[in-house]
């Protein structure tokens, strides 16, 4: 499977502008890249920016409601971001991954990563499981299942968002489902586990990349497959401050591949990642982990556990 990862600029709160910019970037990249492409991954928080932690707390809930949209498999029942994702997927014949998107489902709000299919429409979605205190206080609801999605050629992609990186149980579940690659998005935010926002240079903020990279290496080695952390550059509009997060490929044997990473100066760049199922498959999960999963299922009087349309017995 051939994946194109976009490292690009996102303007805070400017959904229409971001959609227009991403559409032009996808067109340019698809014209530049020779050979087939199976999936395109958008930069983190591609349509609105992260909102929480960047707006005044008194305005956060209003902004979340303003930008929230439906994410459903029913045609014609999705918001503008997902509608454009579906359009791009159909136009270029690729899967397209984008998120987090602020999803509205009845009275609840979720931080959701969406995958659209080459036929158009929503292929699957993952709602963030491990929320920060700020996200809970802002009214975001917890996701309940790991994100594992089967794509063409029986390839499985695992998904995570931000703070999920600090949740080993989530990655253990991906391992049990035998994912071939894991993709996650992140923009700078204050984390009790991964560290706080730090100043990179005057007016430029990010997070401690050493901490983030150590977590990425640990998760990749635990599961035994490559992990791609997708960042981007966050334009805060009227403020002179810019936030950025590196886009980093990690190999379970080689660790962080710095020569292929993108950062602050790599605006509107793309990374090509090729995943071969024969060479990239999760290590067998430890027997102890399987016993614990089975014990939890029994305790909850369930025979199966569902994630991304797959079931474990």
pLDDT at 65 over 60: yes
Say if residues 249 and 231 touch (Cβ distance below 8 Å): no
pLDDT at 174 over 80: yes
Taking residues 118-138, what's their average pLDDT? 95
CA–CA dist 11, 21 (Å, integer): 10
**Lowest model confidence (mean pLDDT) among 20-24, 27-31, 237-241:** 237-241
pLDDT at 148 over 90: yes
Name the β-bridge partners of 206. Answer: 198
Q: Residue 285 — very low, low, confident or very high, per pLDDT cuts 50/70/90? A: confident
Provide the pLDDT for residue 76.
65
β 108-116/197-201 pair status: unpaired
Provide the pLDDT for residue 238.
66
pLDDT at 24 over 50: yes
pLDDT at 313 over 50: no
What is the percent of the chain with per-residue pLDDT over 90, rounded to a whole number? 77
Mean pLDDT of the chain: 90
Provide the pLDDT for residue 309.
46
How do residues 40-54 score in pLDDT, each as one tens digit? 999 999 999 999 999
Provide the pLDDT for residue 304.
54
Provide the pLDDT for residue 221.
95
Give phi and psi for 80, each to the nearest 5: -65, -35
How do residues 229-271 score in pLDDT, each as one tens digit? 999 999 987 667 799 999 999 999 999 999 999 999 999 999 9
Identify which of 20, 2, 307 has the alpha carbon closest to the alpha carbon of residue 147. Answer: 307
Q: Which residue has the tokens 């991964």?
A: 194
Largest CA distance in the chain: 55
Residues 6+ apart with CB under 8 A from 86: 78, 116, 120, 121, 122
Taking residues 285-300, what's their average pLDDT? 71
Q: Residue 312 — very low, low, confident or very high, per pLDDT cuts 50/70/90? A: very low
Taking residues 124-147, what's their average pLDDT? 95
Provide the pLDDT for residue 310.
44
Taking residues 14-21, what's their average pLDDT? 96
Judge if pTM exceeds 0.85: yes
Provide the pLDDT for residue 54.
92
CA–CA dist 112, 126 (Å, integer): 5
How do residues 73-116 score in pLDDT, each as one tens digit? 776 677 899 999 999 999 999 999 999 999 999 999 999 999 99
pLDDT at 281 over 70: no
> Residue length, the chain?
313
Provide the pLDDT for residue 282.
73
The dihedral through the CA atoms of 235, 267, 114, 280 has a sign that is negative
Give exposure, 102-141, as e/b (b: 16+ Cβ within 10 Å): bbbeeeebbbbbbbbbbebbbbbbbbbbbbbeebeebebb
How do residues 55-64 score in pLDDT, each as one tens digit? 998 999 999 9
Taking residues 112-137, what's their average pLDDT? 95
CA–CA dist 7, 41 (Å, integer): 9
How do residues 182-209 score in pLDDT, each as one tens digit? 999 999 999 999 999 998 877 899 999 9
Domains of the chain (ranges; CATH) run 2-312 (3.60.110.10)
Taking residues 204-221, what's their average pLDDT? 96
pLDDT at 300 over 80: no
């Amino acid at each position: 499977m051939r994946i194109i990862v976009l490292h690009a600029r996102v303007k805070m709160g400017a959904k229409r502008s971001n959609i227009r910019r991403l559409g032009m970037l996808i067109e340019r990249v698809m014209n530049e890249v020779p050979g087939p492409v199976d999936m395109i991954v958008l930069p983190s928080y591609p349509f609105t920016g992260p909102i929480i932690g960047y707006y005044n707390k008194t305005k956060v809930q209003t902004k979340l409601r303003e930008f929230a949209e439906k994410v459903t498999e029913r045609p014609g029942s999705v918001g503008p971001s997902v509608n454009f994702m579906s359009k791009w997927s159909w136009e270029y014949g690729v899967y397209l991954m984008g998120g987090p998107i602020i999803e509205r489902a009845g009275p609840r709000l979720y931080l959701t990563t969406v995958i659209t299919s080459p036929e158009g429409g929503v292929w699957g979605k993952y709602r963030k499981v491990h929320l920060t205190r700020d996200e809970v206080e802002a009214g975001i609801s917890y996701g309940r299942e790991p994100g594992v999605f089967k794509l063409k050629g029986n390839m499985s992609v695992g998904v995570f968002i931000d703070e999920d990186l600090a949740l080993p149980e989530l990655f253990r579940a991906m391992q049990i489902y035998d994912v071939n690659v894991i993709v996650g998005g992140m923009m700078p935010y204050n984390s009790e586990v991964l560290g706080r926002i730090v100043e990179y240079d005057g007016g430029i903020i990010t997070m401690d990349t050493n901490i983030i990279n150590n977590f990425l290496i640990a998760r990749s080695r635990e599961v035994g497959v490559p992990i791609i952390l997708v960042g981007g550059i966050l334009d805060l509009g009227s403020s002179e401050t810019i936030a950025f997060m590196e886009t980093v490929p990690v190999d379970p044997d080689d660790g962080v591949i710095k020569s292929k990473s993108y950062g602050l100066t790599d605006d509107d760049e793309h990374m090509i990642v090729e995943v071969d199922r024969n060479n990239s498959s999760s290590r067998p999960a430890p027997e102890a982990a399987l016993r614990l999963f089975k014990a939890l299922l029994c305790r909850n009087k369930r025979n199966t556990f569902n994630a991304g349309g797959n079931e474990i017995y």
